Amino acid sequence: MAVITMREAISQAIWEEMERDEDVFIMGEEVGIWGGTYAVTRGFYDHFGGERVRDTPIAEGVIIGAANGAAMAGLRPIAELMTINFAFLAMDQIVNHSAKLRLMFGGQFKIPIVIRAVGGGGRQLGATHSQTPDAVFAHFPGLKVVSPGTPSDAKGLLKTAIRQDDPVMFIENATLYQVRGEVPDEEHLVPIGVSKVQREGHDATIVTYSKMLQKSFVAAERLSSEGIEVEIVDLRTLRPLDMGPVVQSFKKTNRAVIVEEGWKSYGVGAEIAARLYEEAFDYADAPIKRLAQKEVPLPYNHDLEQHAIPQVEDIIMAVKEVL
Amino acid sequence: MVNRTKSKRVAGELMDKDTMLDLYHEMVLVRRLEEAFETLYQEGKIGGFLHLYIGQEAVGSGVIGARQPQDRVITAYRDHGIAISCGIDPKSIVAELFGKEAGTSKGRGGSMHLGNTDLNFWGGHAIVGAHMPLATGMAMADKYRGSDAVTICLFGDGATNGGYFHEALNLSMVWDLPILWVCENNQYGMGTAVERASAVTEIRQKAEGYGMPNERVDGMDILKVYEATSKNLDLVRKNGPFFLELMTYRFRGHSIGDPERYREKEEIDMWRKDDPIGIFRKHLLSTNGLTDAVLDNIEAKAQSEIEEAIKFAEASADPSLDSLFDYVYVD
Amino acid sequence: MAELIIMPKLGFDMAEGTLLRWLISEGDQLAQGDVIAEIETDKATIEVESQFSGVVRKLVVEEGSSVPIGAPIAIVADAGESIDFETILAASASSSAEPADPAPEPRMMDHALSSSDGNGRLPGGVKASPVARRLAEEFNINLKSLEGSGQGGRIVKRDVEHSIAGQTDEASKVSLPVLPQLEGSETVEAPLTKLRGLIGRRMTSSKQEIPHFYLTSSFDAAAFMKMRSDLNARMPAEEKFSIHDFILKAAGLALRKFPNLNASLGDGKIIRHGAVNIGLAVAVEGGLLTVVIRDVDWKPLRIISTDARAAIQRARAGRVHQDDVEGSTFTVSNLGMYSIDSFVAIINPPEAAILAIGSVEDVAVVKDGEIVPGKRFKATLSADHRVTDGAEAAEWLQIFKGFIEDPLLLLL
């Protein structure tokens, strides 16, 4: 198995799917000649040409809208939003159209669109460029919301997202692009809507995904040196949510900490905690703990920003609090 | 009702007599359907909103009458007339408004979301302007696949003041897409007159800003609409986007329950003199040697078709409750 | 016909009980003998059975309420029967009202859902995690008998598991890593458990109100220890006799023969109880319970042994019956297993006396001028001077001595 970065894994997934299926194309701001602002599509324009690697104006409404239309007409667009913060400019297309068109027309057509959006904070980009609004998108039936935390899952999930027929919000974290990991050399598909135990343990369960998965790995090793073994369940998909491994792990450890980068109120942690109480109340041995971003638009100042985002130390403390 | 997708129109050719009679029937059918809906709505048999097309029949019939079968049609929420023009059976339209499984959208969409992709009608859409980017994408797909299809996108004057309009028009030019943009300028965005909402009252001027060829045409006369559409569809097929502004008027309120405080009765009466059906009827009687009896017969036929459609819809079944989650996801 | 279920009197000294937990709901079909509620008296938590069959039409008091005995707690009737709850309850209130000390009004369920302390209502009256509750229920463990090691004193899974395993060592698992400052010799504050609080209040009251006096005597244990050993050689492992079985029997016979100590101080009178029911103090996790062995005077030793064993097991499992803890007329406290020479016990009110048993020791005994090996134990009788005095108590001890030192009498 090759060890590659998350960036390479995502790039490979798109490349392979575009090679495999002519209906697949990518569109977005600077995906073409520039090669992607995060360099994910570097080399694509020269290889696939401008018809399949389409630079767009800075106009998110029509980027997603046109992708929806192309999907209605049978193509399989990958629409890249330079950052997920700009998704708010296309919210109507994502929420009112990607998610609903198929149902509103009684299933006459499909919307096989993948919206790639980069999120996450911690890079001193200021409040409007640093958000992790994953839970917002996961609220809407009709959408699928995927957010991988490892290169292997990123590649496998993105390839699946491109091949399946429903609209997918594929949320990448900008600070994960450099993370390296083993990715199978052969054809690699990971199913959407399947959570995964990424580390086994018995003292407490950390439920997390994306960037916070990586931070949880570090926290888990430090806790292990103190004799505390946490189990880490990676959600990977926020909708449809697979609670199976989460509930199973919780029944084993009886304690859970949910770690997310987004805000706590009405967030992923709120959802997971509520479902654990609904599905496994009798297994709780301590109140379920949520660890999330502090309730503030992220400030520019480095220290303030980092203070607002969950850190490894916060995860360690949160785990100890539920023991 | 005429199924325009069946006959292959010869580019630039004017309407023959049979086509005219078909379109006359279609316009009357739309009128009778909308009148029936108004009553049914007030009887409580139709849920949600109801936006009637009465007064604008020449636009739908004229534009869509001129399309080729491969040309896609997409419109906004005032879509009953467009649905008829695209060839959808009134039975499934009434059934949709009744929320029945036999409706065009299986009772999931309602009045604003009629559609039939087999007839290349890609829907009424309820968010103002939001279907314009969809049209852009569909046209892009056709071009991507080397098809010569044109996407005909109809929208109201109100939609031209929002961001989608500008993003979509701009991108259609940037990507040189086969789209015929058709603005149904009925003078009001809901209750706000064009001059109170738009910097220019001649909407076609907005297309100028994008370097897009454009034309303003009388939308109450189906012959003019048909001719302009027919001519410009050919241009689009060759050269890319074209902007067609059709001057029209809705005789009813924006939707049922509209108090219509924004316009005088005299104004409505003035436009009513230009009733598109009346104009067309006059033309047929004066230049084609048709008799009142022939046209009355067509009108009676339309009336009975609508009555039949209502009976069909009333007798058809609601979707089963266990189908609630159908069509949310494919996989 | 509507029937009122009332707060039962669960002992002659019970004035009120706390309805800890309803085990039925309105609308339930009830058969006579069904367990309907857990009621806490000042001695123990007891499961109460219904005296009636029918449908539970109304639960009159909410969980956590303190209710005077005789006050209605629920109404049972036929399913369809139309009932005027107010009239029934009003009638009951006028008939059961205590003239001297007006009973506190039970809180009506309709009026308040949370207890008056503003902290809400803990199920079962204890702070325990859901998984701890579930495990405790599965293994018949009384959560109230456990001390919580979780945050804020919450009883957590490991506490119940330790109880199941009979462990008391709390330190075997990861212990409070979040509070490392509590390790070592730091002062730790542990919350007062309900049971501990109860014992404290009762003992304080006993020691303050009852003029105790004490007599200690030494007894020859050789004969009954030999007999116990002989008997146990013939008994199956699970039915072997304990030392306290012999003490109970001897005390029971002594009380029958000299009943002045089998008594309570009543309102201006001394009540000599007809039955000889001896309480045996049992150490349980977090405190002490007194289980009652009834009719010890006439029950055969083997039955006493069986009864005592069963009652002790129930007490340790936190599942005592009403009969296990109510109605004792005299108490025996045995610390013999802890190598205690002798000790002084506090009277278990409203009894008049308690006998504290020390360890049986191998001692040199002077017998007929010879020093011979012998077995002896000391016992101290604490008695209520309002009921009896030194001479009577001494007389009783002599009678007890007669039985315990001639153990064949215990078998007659």
Q: What is the ipTM of this complex?
A: 0.94
- Judge if C245 and C360 occupy the same domain: yes
Does some domain include residue C183? no
Residue with tokens 């945050």: C151
Does some domain include residue C105? no
pLDDT digits (tens, 9 = 90+) for C3-37: 888 887 766 667 788 888 899 999 899 888 788 88
What was the pLDDT predicted at C186? Answer: 66
- Judge if A31 and A174 occupy the same domain: yes
- Would you give the DSSP letter of residue B50? -
**CATH code for the domain defined by B17-316:** 3.40.50.970
List chain A pLDDT tens, one digit each, 323 residues.
899 999 999 999 999 999 999 999 999 999 999 999 999 999 999 999 999 999 999 999 999 999 999 999 999 999 999 999 999 999 999 999 999 999 999 999 999 999 999 999 999 999 999 999 999 999 999 999 999 999 999 999 999 999 999 999 999 999 999 999 999 999 999 999 999 999 999 999 999 999 999 999 999 999 999 999 999 999 999 999 999 999 999 999 999 999 999 999 999 999 999 999 999 999 999 999 999 999 999 999 999 999 999 999 999 999 999 99
- Judge if C19 and C155 occupy the same domain: no
Q: What is d(CA C125, CA A107) in angstroms, rounded to the nearest whole number? A: 55
- Judge if A69 and A138 occupy the same domain: yes
- Judge if C163 and C287 occupy the same domain: no
Q: Collapsing DSSP states into helix, strand and coil, what is residue C25?
A: coil
Q: What is the mean pLDDT of each run of 10 residues along chain B (331 residues)?
A: 45 75 97 94 88 96 96 98 98 98 97 97 97 98 97 97 98 98 96 94 97 97 96 96 97 82 89 93 90 95 97 97 96 87
- Judge if A151 and A13 occupy the same domain: yes
CB contact under 8 A, C131 and A227: no
What was the pLDDT predicted at C168? Answer: 43
- Which residue from A65, A77, A166 is facing B330, i.e. has the nearest CB? A166
Does some domain include residue A276? yes
pLDDT digits (tens, 9 = 90+) for C80-104: 888 888 887 877 766 544 444 444 4
Q: Provide the mean pLDDT of chain A.
A: 97
In the predicted structure, residue C355 carries a pLDDT above the cut 60: yes
Q: What is d(CA C34, CA C51) in angstroms, rounded to the nearest whole number? A: 8
Choose one of C139, C171, C203: the last residue of a domain.
C171
Q: How many CB atoms lie within 10 A of CB C333?
A: 25
Q: Which string of DSSP letters, residue by residue, matches C36-94?
A: EEEEE-SS-EEEEE-S--EEEEEE-B-TT-EEETTSEEEEEE-SS----HHHHHHHHHH
Determine which of C137, C155, C178, C182 to mutate to test the interface with A (most A C-beta atoms within 10 Å).
C178
Does some domain include residue C179? no
- Which residue from C129, C158, C174 is facing A284, i.e. has the nearest CB? C129
Nearest to C12 by CA among C191, C273, C261, C211: C273
Choose the weakest-confidence range: C181-190, C268-277, C314-323, C385-394.
C181-190
Task: Using CB atoms, list chains with 3+ pairs below 8 Å to chain B.
Answer: A
- Judge if A178 and A31 occupy the same domain: yes
- Judge if A29 and A152 occupy the same domain: yes
- Judge if A204 and A128 occupy the same domain: no
User: B128 to chain A: nearest residue by CA?
Assistant: A92
What was the pLDDT predicted at C44? Answer: 73
- Judge if A220 and A119 occupy the same domain: no
Q: Are A254 and A284 contacting, i.e. CB atoms less than 8 angstroms apart?
A: yes
Q: What is d(CA A93, CA A71) in angstroms, rounded to the nearest whole number? A: 13
Cβ neighbours of A228 in C, within 8 Å? 174, 177
- Judge if C249 and C143 occupy the same domain: no
In the predicted structure, residue C177 carries a pLDDT above the cut 60: no
What was the pLDDT predicted at A46? Answer: 97
- Judge if C92 and C133 occupy the same domain: no
In this prediction, residues C338-367 reach a mean pLDDT of 91
Q: What is d(CA A308, CA A123) in angstroms, rounded to the nearest whole number? A: 12
What was the pLDDT predicted at C178? Answer: 42
Give CA separation, C107 vs A178, C44, C74, C103, in Å: 64, 22, 13, 12
CB contact under 8 A, A97 and B167: no
Domain boundaries, chain B: 17-316
- Judge if C378 and C253 occupy the same domain: yes
How many domains does chain A fold into?
A: 2
How many domains does chain C fold into?
A: 3
Choose one of C117, C149, C171: the last residue of a domain.
C171
Q: Is C166 exposed, middle or buried (0-12, 13-18, 19+ CB in 10 A)?
A: exposed
Does some domain include residue A136? yes
- Judge if C92 and C130 occupy the same domain: no
Does some domain include residue A215? yes
User: A321 to chain C: nearest residue by CA?
Assistant: C178
- Judge if A165 and A236 occupy the same domain: no
Q: Say whether C111 is catalytic.
A: no
The domain that contains A307 carries what CATH number? 3.40.50.920
In the predicted structure, residue C350 carries a pLDDT above the cut 80: yes
pLDDT digits (tens, 9 = 90+) for A46-91: 999 999 999 999 999 999 999 999 999 999 999 999 999 999 999 9
What was the pLDDT predicted at B208? Answer: 97
Does some domain include residue A188? no
Hey, is the C-beta of B176 within 8 angstroms of any chain A C-beta? no
The domain that contains C34 carries what CATH number? 2.40.50.100
Does some domain include residue A73? yes
What was the pLDDT predicted at C107? Answer: 45
d(CA B147, nearest CA chain A) in Å: 12
- Which residue from A283, A317, A320 is facing C131, i.e. has the nearest CB? A283
Range of the structural domain that residue C155 is part of: 126-171
- Judge if C85 and C163 occupy the same domain: no
Choose one of A157, A183, A209: the last residue of a domain.
A183
- Judge if A58 and A154 occupy the same domain: yes
Catalytic residues of A: 60, 129
Paired strand residues for C77 = C55
- Judge if C314 and C376 occupy the same domain: yes
Range of the structural domain that residue A307 is part of: 196-322
- Judge if C253 and C368 occupy the same domain: yes
Nearest to B41 by CA among B311, B33, A106: B33
Hey, is the C-beta of C127 within 8 angstroms of any chain A C-beta? no
Choose the weakest-confidence range: B29-43, C228-242, C383-397.
C228-242
